[in-house]
């Protein structure tokens, strides 16, 4: 049994997520591609990151933007060729950057050869690669009814009827993403083989998409929570963390990951710290860390029954309770991941910060300080490092995200459950296209992303908010991220990566403060989450030999380390304190 309780490269990593379609277009077709990634690798090396999480680049019909894979051993032609991939991998490695692939094996595309063969008849070798069931009956018009009442993540039933074979197949996401049947040992072996293919090619690990829903409950019982009026999903209620998921994660690890010096992180909705320790505990032999979703629900109202498609004000005390609990419950038992953004979430400076011109960068720096000051492996999403914001397109016709389009169609077009303005307000706040507008590289036409017409509209603020401007300006958010990464990988590595976490003042609704306790010294992290001036006292500073090692206000290093601090709007500081 492995023991991952010591120091490892993946704990000390700073990861940068690339969503290829919107990262950088090298050939002017308006779609980001692999050669475009290679072009920008020096930029990432200069930022200081040393691992890239690469969202799917596999062959795909793009029903769900690459998370519907039709060939796990081929590259999507829009993104380039396998030679392009090999060149990117070689260049990244030459710059000291490792590559994590995005492993999507809860489901495949319905255009994968496995599924094409599976749906040809009930009696073939591939039928049991997927989950098929008979109708539960017929409706009053004589039409077949699905096997149970499960709702998919993207709205509507989680079952699709196949007339050819008179059965239904399960799809917890799009109807073009049939769920794989992990009960079948042949399916698991196929997955072991494709993972080994990429590890042998030289990739450095995997992010595992929706991996804790691979084990479906025996008998596929109805979901008592489903409300067809509320666009609700059955994933959190009947599928998450099924009875065989740990058995299969252990098997996957022992057959593949454990044989290589690689990094693994599992995407796991509806999973708390106790379950996370079972997945990523230092001696579990399953995964190195997981992505949890608890803080991603801070601005959703559970009383509506509509999941993310609801809104409520974010309470800092709730955020602290969630993040502090994860810090303390995993400490010494398992490793955690740290993130504010990814391809499925709104932009953090618009969501938990203040994206006004006055406070966008200050609040962005504050949020970065809070996250990167914690224990765990931090992840930066493309554009986060210079403060890209949410977008508001004029019409639903301008959006590309299947989830948003289905929500609008369900709520407005088909069932008149809310007005267009109400639906669009939720899409502006929660839609995945907020994260998927092209990276704003410069103020030039096409935002420096493309010389052609981008596949999705640009955020119109690209002329003011872009990487070129931020890199040029020494006090920018980009340079602040660069300082944070440098501290974490250099001078303060032992404290920022490995020191234990101690929360302070959990009931304070305006200030986030915590300590990190290392050998012979401590860190104090303080962050004002408001646009007002706050005064607070911290005992750890009283009479202490303390130094401000980083702050988002340039003159903070000149402030004396008094027990009572005055922090300006969105001010954040990291103090280094001798024992």
Burial of 561 (0-12, 13-18, 19+ CB in 10 A): buried
DSSP 236: I
Cβ–Cβ < 8 Å for 16, 53 = yes
DSSP 337: E
- For residues 377 and 371, what is the distance between their CA atoms, to the nearest angstrom? 10
- Measured distance between the N- and C-terminal CA atoms of the chain, rounded to whole angstroms: 37
- Active-site choice (209, 275, 385, 410): 209
Q: What is the DSSP string of 41-62?
A: HHHHHHHT--EEEE---EE---
Distance (Å) of CA 400 to CA 21, 64, 273, 436, 437: 12, 10, 34, 9, 10
| Tokens encoding 367 | 């949020």
267 is catalytic: yes
Cβ–Cβ < 8 Å for 337, 289 = yes
- For residues 358 and 578, what is the distance between their CA atoms, to the nearest angstrom? 35
Describe the crossing of helices 82-94 and 34-47 by its angle, rounded to 10 degrees.
10
Instruction: Look at residue 249 and give its three-state secondary structure.
Output: helix
b/e map of 5-18 (b: 16 or more CB within 10 Å)?
eeeeebbbbbbbbb
Cβ–Cβ < 8 Å for 501, 327 = yes
Neighbours of 579 (CB within 10 A): 10
- Active-site choice (267, 275, 401, 515): 267
DSSP 195: H
Cβ-proximal residues to 87 (8 Å cutoff; 6+ apart), any chain: 35, 38
The 8 Å CB, 24+ separation contacts for 415-422 are 415/229, 417/229, 420/396
Q: Find the Cα–Cα–Cα–Cα dihedral 54, 56, 58, 59, rounded to 10°.
A: -140
Neighbours of 324 (CB within 10 A): 18
- For residues 72 and 61, what is the distance between their CA atoms, to the nearest angstrom? 13
Describe the crossing of helices 273-280 and 316-330 by its angle, rounded to 10 degrees.
40
State how beta strands 337-338 and 289-291 pair: unpaired
- For residues 136 and 143, what is the distance between their CA atoms, to the nearest angstrom? 11
- 249 backbone dihedrals φ, ψ, rounded to 5°: -65, -40
Cβ-proximal residues to 102 (8 Å cutoff; 6+ apart), any chain: 53, 54, 55, 56, 66, 67, 206, 207, 209
The C-alpha angle with vertex 78 and arms to 454 and 25, in degrees rounded to 5, equals 40
Positions marked active-site: 209, 267
């Amino acid at each position: 049994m492995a023991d991952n309780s010591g120091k490892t490269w993946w704990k000390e990593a700073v990861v940068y997520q690339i969503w290829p379609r919107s990262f950088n277009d090298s050939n002017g077709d308006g779609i980001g591609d692999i050669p475009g990634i290679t072009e920008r690798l020096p930029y990432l090396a200069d930022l200081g990151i040393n691992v890239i999480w690469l969202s799917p680049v596999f062959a795909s019909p793009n029903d769900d933007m690459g998370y519907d894979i039709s060939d796990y051993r081929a590259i999507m032609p829009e993104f380039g060729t396998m030679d392009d991939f090999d060149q990117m991998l070689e260049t990244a490695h030459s710059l000291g950057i490792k590559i994590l692939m995005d492993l999507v094996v809860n489901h495949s595309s319905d255009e994968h050869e496995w599924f094409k063969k599976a749906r040809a008849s009930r009696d073939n070798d591939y039928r049991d690669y997927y989950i098929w069931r008979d109708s539960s009956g017929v409706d009053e018009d004589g039409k077949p009814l699905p096997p149970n009442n499960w709702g998919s993540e993207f709205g509507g039933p989680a079952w699709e009827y196949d007339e050819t074979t008179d059965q239904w197949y399960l799809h917890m996401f799009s109807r073009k993403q049939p769920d794989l049947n992990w009960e079948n040992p042949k399916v698991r072996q196929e997955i072991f083989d494709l993972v080994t293919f990429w590890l042998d090619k030289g990739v450095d690990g995997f992010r595992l998409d929706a991996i804790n829903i691979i084990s479906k409950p025996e008998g596929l019982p109805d979901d008592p929570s489903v409300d067809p009026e509320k666009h609700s999903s059955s994933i959190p209620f009947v599928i998450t963390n099924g009875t065989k998921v740990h058995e299969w994660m252990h098997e996957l690890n022992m057959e593949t990951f454990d044989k290589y010096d690689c990094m693994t992180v599992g995407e796991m909705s509806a999973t708390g710290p106790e379950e996370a320790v079972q997945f990523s505990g230092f001696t579990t032999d399953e995964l190195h860390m997981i992505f949890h979703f608890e803080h991603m629900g801070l601005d959703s109202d559970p009383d509506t029954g509509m999941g993310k498609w609801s809104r409520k004000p974010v309470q800092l005390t709730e955020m602290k309770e969630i993040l502090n609990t994860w810090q303390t419950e995993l400490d010494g038992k398992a490793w955690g991941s740290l993130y504010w953004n990814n391809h499925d979430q709104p932009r953090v400076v618009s969501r938990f910060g203040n994206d006004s011109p006055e406070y966008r960068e200050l609040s962005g720096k504050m949020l970065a300080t809070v996250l990167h000051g914690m224990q765990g492996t931090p992840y930066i999403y493309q554009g986060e490092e210079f403060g890209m914001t949410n977008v508001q397109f004029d019409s639903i016709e301008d959006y590309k995200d299947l989830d948003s389009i289905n929500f609008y169609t369900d709520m407005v077009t088909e069932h008149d459950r809310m007005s267009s303005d109400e639906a669009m307000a939720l899409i502006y706040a929660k839609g995945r296209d907020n994260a998927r507008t092209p990276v704003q590289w410069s103020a030039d036409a096409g935002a420096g992303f493309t010389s052609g017409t981008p596949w999705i509209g640009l955020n119109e603020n690209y002329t003011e908010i872009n990487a070129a401007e931020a890199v040029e300006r020494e006090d920018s958010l980009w340079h602040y991220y660069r300082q944070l990464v440098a501290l974490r990988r250099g001078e303060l590595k032992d404290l920022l990566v490995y020191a234990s976490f101690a929360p302070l003042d959990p009931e304070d609704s305006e200030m986030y403060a915590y300590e990190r306790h290392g050998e012979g010294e401590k860190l104090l992290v303080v962050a004002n989450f408001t646009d007002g001036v706050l005064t607070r006292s911290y005992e750890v500073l009283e009479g202490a030999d303390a130094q401000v090692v980083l702050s988002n206000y340039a003159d903070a290093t000149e402030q004396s380390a008094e027990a009572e601090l005055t922090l300006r709007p969105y001010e954040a500081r990291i103090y280094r304190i001798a024992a």
